[in-house]
């Protein structure tokens, strides 16, 4: 990969004042009421001349992914204060995909990305914060925080809350995680495990704080953000409960103050080349399909032109190297133990697959941050060498065809084959499909079609972890395919295709599929087609009627009205840019 010239820095707004935003709120006799409000929350007179640093914490007891972030926020606060700033901790929301998966509540998941972005932008913008540290543990926290950072374009660092440790059952050598529980549902329904083992897996899989333990969406997005240059080295590969993670937070707080001095801002860092680095690392790690959706949305916030076809272009030359769950054997905590993603990134840099001249939050280029990184230990089996990859090209395959004229995203690792032809089994919701799967109504050769689950149609584009896991648990992973205008959890594996666009709700071809229709998915040709004549499809389109909105009030209705296609990142401000 050719390297580009380093991004030209914007004019430094901090050259004459390290407090260009907080000064407007706090300086001068007329701002005395503003200062008065801050004494009760811990300000002293000398604090009013320091840069104000917001610490956005996604702490919540809603989910183990985020239950420890309040402690990490205090570490970031201490780091910022010690470096000469005055930090203010504030919260944003989080939801739990794992808890809401398969229910109506999951429709709020992708919506939460927009709420998080809006809330961080609102607080930092309103209060005149000069810089920002954002700490997130679940996958929507991360793109939400980065979108807000791009909009504000003030010195900022993202901190990942860290990965969970594996769960285990006494006397059982298996490393368990949340996907183990989802797959146990299918295995239990098929009577492949008994009630006792089912209960043991349920109660032991989640041992404490941290994000889901495989290369699922949280660990994928943390790795992508580090590759993007917006977090400190190693932030993506640390255990949630560790001294390394506390130190990461303290350093992040101090780094924002240094960025203020340099005039280094997010839009200096999040360039097209930096996004290409993020895509490269996601592919090499075998990361989640959600990375496509989130990176498109993050790039949109940066006014960077990133498209689905960029994933294809980069994917043709970047191999899959990581043997990580869900398709592989290992957990993120095992990758942490051998050095995290830094040695992998150095390998990719030396192979010309990473832009080394992209600037990072450290003020150094990506290449400079990798100079002293040591290789993985001899004999490790988690990261394959470049000359013996697990897959020569990307597992994230962008498909087009008469079923997805605007594109779809498949996760094809090679374990499930490269081509699938079968007969459609059509369901107009995830619940309908799940009922049929668990009752034994799915057969070898079926292509399960779950529609009206797109960004507008759901609304909210639910993840299909429950049906994909049930399929795997029933032992049908290599025998059936599942396609949807919804999306997938990073924990999903099997022959799955999501993000089919246009979605059913707006009259996309997936809305016209009937039971028994032949469907062919070809990863090598990058096509997904409904094997019907153009004439038949036209006749069906004439007979199709648009469904009524499922929600007419509240946040889901607002989201459905504003959201764009998944092929554009499912953003909610597409028409607001000049």
> What are the Cα distances from residue 507, in Å, to 378, 456, 460, 549?
54, 11, 17, 13
What residues are annotated to the active site?
489
Strand, helix or coil for residue 441? coil
* pTM of the full structure: 0.94
Q: Which residues contact 46 (CB under 8 A, 6 or more apart)?
A: none
Distance CA 45, CA 48 (A): 6
Q: Phi and psi (nearest 5°) for 447?
A: -110, 105
Contact (CB, 8 A) for 168 and 175: yes
Contact (CB, 8 A) for 297 and 570: yes
- What does the pLDDT read at residue 545? 96
Burial class of 225 by CB neighbour count within 10 A (0 to 12, 13 to 18, 19+)? buried
Length of the chain: 578
Distance CA 472, CA 186 (A): 7
- What does the pLDDT read at residue 153? 98
| Long-range CB contacts for residues 3-7, cutoff 8 Å, separation at least 24 | 3/273, 3/355, 3/356, 3/357, 4/271, 4/273, 4/355, 4/357, 5/357, 6/357, 6/358, 6/359, 6/365, 7/268, 7/269, 7/271, 7/273, 7/358, 7/359
Contact (CB, 8 A) for 535 and 262: no
Strand, helix or coil for residue 173? coil
> What are the Cα distances from residue 574, in Å, to 405, 525, 562?
20, 31, 9
> What are the Cα distances from residue 565, in Å, to 83, 334, 407, 512, 571?
43, 37, 10, 18, 8
Q: Shortest CA distance to 56 belongs to which of 21, 87, 89?
A: 89
CB atoms within 10 A of CB 90: 15
CB atoms within 10 A of CB 538: 10
- What does the pLDDT read at residue 187? 86
Task: Give the number of C-alpha atoms closer than 13 A to the C-alpha of residue 3, restricted to the C-beta side.
Answer: 17
How confident is the model over 21-62, as pLDDT tens digits?
999 999 999 999 999 999 999 999 999 999 999 999 999 999
- What does the pLDDT read at residue 12? 63
Residues of the chain with pLDDT under 50: 1-8, 577-578
Distance CA 380, CA 104 (A): 42
- What does the pLDDT read at residue 578? 42
Distance CA 227, CA 160 (A): 13
How confident is the model over 419-435, as pLDDT tens digits?
999 999 999 999 999 99
- What does the pLDDT read at residue 184? 87
Strand, helix or coil for residue 38? helix
- What does the pLDDT read at residue 575? 62
């Amino acid at each position: 990969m050719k390297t580009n010239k380093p991004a030209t820095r914007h004019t430094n707004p901090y050259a004459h004042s390290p407090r260009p935003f907080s000064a407007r709120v706090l300086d001068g006799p007329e701002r005395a009421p503003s200062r008065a409000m801050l004494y009760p929350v811990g300000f002293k007179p000398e604090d009013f001349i320091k840069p104000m640093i917001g610490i956005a914490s996604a702490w919540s007891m809603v989910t183990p992914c985020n239950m420890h972030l309040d402690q990490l926020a205090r570490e970031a606060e201490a780091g910022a204060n010690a470096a000469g700033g005055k930090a203010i901790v504030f919260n944003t929301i989080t939801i739990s995909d794992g808890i809401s998966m398969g229910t109506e509540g999951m429709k709020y998941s992708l919506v939460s990305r927009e709420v998080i972005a809006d809330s961080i932008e609102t607080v930092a913008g309103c209060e005149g914060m000069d810089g920002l540290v954002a700490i997130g543990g679940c996958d929507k926290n991360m793109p939400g925080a980065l979108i807000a950072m791009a909009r504000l374009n003030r010195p900022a660092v993202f901190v990942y809350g860290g990965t969970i440790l594996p769960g285990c059952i006494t006397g059982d050598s298996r490393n368990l995680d949340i996907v183990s529980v989802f797959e146990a549902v299918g295995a239990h329904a098929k009577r492949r495990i008994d009630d006792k083992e089912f209960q043991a897996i349920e109660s032991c899989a989640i041992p404490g704080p941290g994000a889901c333990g495989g290369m699922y969406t949280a660990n994928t997005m943390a790795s992508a953000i580090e590759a993007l240059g917006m977090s400190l080295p190693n932030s993506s590969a640390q255990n949630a409960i560790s001294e390394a993670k506390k130190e990461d937070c303290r350093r992040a707080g101090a780094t924002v103050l240094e960025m203020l001095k340099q005039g280094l801002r997010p839009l200096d860092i999040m360039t097209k080349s930096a996004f290409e680095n993020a895509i490269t690392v996601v592919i090499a790690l075998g990361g989640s399909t959600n990375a496509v959706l989130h990176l498109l949305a993050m790039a949109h916030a940066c006014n960077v032109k990133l498209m689905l076809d960029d994933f294809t272009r980069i994917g043709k030359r970047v191999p899959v190297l990581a043997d990580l769950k869900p398709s592989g054997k290992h957990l993120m905590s095992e990758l942490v133990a051998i050095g995290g993603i830094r040695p992998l990134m150095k390998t990719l840099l030396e192979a010309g697959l990473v832009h080394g001249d992209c600037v990072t939050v450290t003020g150094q280029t990506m290449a400079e941050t990798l100079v002293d990184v040591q290789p993985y230990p001899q004999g490790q089996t988690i990261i394959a060498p470049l000359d013996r990859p697990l897959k020569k090209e990307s597992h994230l395959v962008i498909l087009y065809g008469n079923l997805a004229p605007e594109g779809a995203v498949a996760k094809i690792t090679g374990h499930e084959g490269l081509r699938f032809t079968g007969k459609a089994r059509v369901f107009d919701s995830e619940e309908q499909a799940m009922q049929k799967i668990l009752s034994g109504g799915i057969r070898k050769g079926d292509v399960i079609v779950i529609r009206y689950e797109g960004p507008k149609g759901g609304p909210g584009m639910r993840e299909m972890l429950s049906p994909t896991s049930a399929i795997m648990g029933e032992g049908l992973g290599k025998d059936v395919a599942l396609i949807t205008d919804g999306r997938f959890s990073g924990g999903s594996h099997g022959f799955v295709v999501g993000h089919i666009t246009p979605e059913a709700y707006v009259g996309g071809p997936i809305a016209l599929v009937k039971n028994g229709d032949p469907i062919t998915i070809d990863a090598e040709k990058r096509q997904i087609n409904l094997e019907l004549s153009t004439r038949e499809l036209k006749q069906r389109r004439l007979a199709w009627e648009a469904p009524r909105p499922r929600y007419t009030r509240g946040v889901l209705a607002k989201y459905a009205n504003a959201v764009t296609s998944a092929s554009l990142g499912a953003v909610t401000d597409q028409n607001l840019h000049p």
